[in-house]
A and B are shown apart, each in its own frame.
Chain A
């Protein structure tokens, strides 16, 4: 991987008024500003809140990076983005975490063409990397892969 970071980060202020209507304000800030509770985010959000009757309910910072040498996509029986390998993990609180990988390699699909093949070496490595690094949305650890299966793309039009 060869990632180049964006020159700036995006600060997004999420507002809600007393009718429940959502609105946003966006700023670009220095790439070193990564904490939504301090620095530029704190100063700008406090200054904006001071001139608004709406409520600033969420302060978000987005950080961007681009792959400079992405390479060439491969060909295969499931090489479209619409072909998905769905992987359902379990968090330590039992909650499901599903991620879908587009254009899966044939080597990680079982011979019945329906299920994933967790025994495949690269699939095993992915499951371990995900369990070691990823969390549930609530911040719990990921403990196991519950199941994996191929999702076929929606019906194609008649050619």
Chain B
């Protein structure tokens, strides 16, 4: 669990410009309407000419480990996984540094039955949503996508 929850509060002045202030609170605080956050934000509101427009909370965890050395694909090589939600709206997820074992013989297509892929599809269909809350429901296809930058001289 994170040591803290980071809170970012954004304000806007009368000229339309925005500024944000960040602070940390106890990691158990994960609700923007928590009294701890509200007390600080309301206190800031009384010090400024600007108005509060939004609050963003960030909580993180850091697993231990390291990347596989000398892997075939680096982060610019993505596994591109396409899905649709309950409203048939398309969603795609790019997972970097894909394992070569999930690629088909053409080295481009990702087989939906390759090791680890069915579990990924199941997790996305179970938990992922659209921005507005529509459930992601159906896997469409997956393939390798490169985004290597041209090396400059």
Contacts and interface: CB of A to CB of B under 8 A. Distances in A.
Contacts of B102: 51
Interface residues of B, number: 89
Interface residues of A, number: 89
A132 B123 CA distance: 40
Contacts of B47: 85, 101, 104-105, 108, 122-123, 126
A101 B131 contact: no
A36 B33 contact: no
A3 B31 CA distance: 11
29 contacts: A8-B132, A16-B75, A18-B70, A23-B76, A23-B96, A23-B97, A31-B133, A35-B59, A36-B1, A36-B60, A45-B63, A46-B123, A50-B116, A50-B120, A51-B116, A53-B68, A54-B97, A57-B65, A58-B60, A64-B32, A66-B55, A73-B14, A75-B14, A104-B49, A129-B39, A137-B24, A138-B3, A139-B3, A139-B4
Interface of B: 1-4, 11-15, 17-19, 21-27, 30-33, 36-63, 65-76, 79, 93-99, 102, 114-117, 119-120, 122-124, 126-133
